[in-house]
A and B are shown apart, each in its own frame.
Chain A
Amino acid sequence: QVQLQESGPGLVKPSGTLSLTCTVSGDSISSSNWWNWVRQPPGKGLEWIGEIYHSGSTNYSPSLKSRVTLSVDRSKNQFSLNLSSVTAADTAVYYCARGEVAVGNAFDIWGQGTMVTVSS
């Protein structure tokens, strides 16, 4: 079955760059799906960060657009998130999710999430 797994540092210093990778298994990153990042600050709701297609096309949340870069590595079947100039407000659980075209681009598969804390 399709699985997504986030990986990356759990602690990032303020003003630094948060970098996470999502490894896809059971599906090809080159399929007709969009690959997403969503975050959830402790005790708060879900926030969409952005999405990437295997061609490299991207859409970003307007509130994060100036600091976010998404990329795809088709050889490794992975996609990645870089978030620059982080502050404590970026502390959250970060999820990767598949936007499945067959269900109207709903996020049908989610990773388990990885907690990232921004602190010195």
Chain B
Amino acid sequence: QSVLTQPPSASGTPGQRVTISCSGSNSNIGSNYVFWYQQLPGTAPKLLIYRNNQRPSGVPDRFSGSKSGTSASLAISGLRSEDEADYYCAAWDDSLSGQVFGGGTKLTVL
């Protein structure tokens, strides 16, 4: 059971906007940065969002992150077939003195 809670699955059609939620607590999301990672099948995770809503160079602006209180969200607009992947949220947890991940959300592009 993961410290951060994500829906196990999400789906959308090409061109649609999809959001993935991530719920935590005061000791993690509530007091630290949220990160989002994309993992394409058979590959290592890739950093998608850092410091709640910042995109690394090369990440399309179709991807956006937000945080409010102890929850965070990843939004993907203009959905494409290549966005089909697993998405993980993560944050530092002050109580555990370590990084915690969400259980992951499998995004299917219909």
Interface residues, chain A, with chain B CB atoms under 8 Å away: 36, 38, 45-48, 50-51, 59-62, 95, 103-108, 110-113
In the assembled complex, the Cα of A26 lies from the Cα of B103 at a distance in Å of: 31
- Is the Cβ of A46 less than 8 Å from the Cβ of B104? yes
The answer on a CB contact under 8 Å between A108 and B44 is no
A-B pair number, CB within 8 angstroms: 65
Task: Tell me if B56 counts as interface (CB < 8 A to partner A).
Answer: yes
Chain B residue nearest to A95 (CB atoms) is B44
Q: Give every chain A residue within 8 A of B98 (Cβ-Cβ).
A: 48, 50-51, 59-62
Chain A contacts for B35, CB-based, 8 A:
104, 106-107
A104 to B96, CA, bound (A): 18
Chain A residues with Cβ below 8 Å from B33 are 104-106
Known A46-B88, A62-B96; contact A108-B101, beta-carbon cutoff 8 A: no
> Is A104 touching B50 in the complex (CB atoms < 8 A)?
yes
A110 to chain B, nearest CB (A): 4
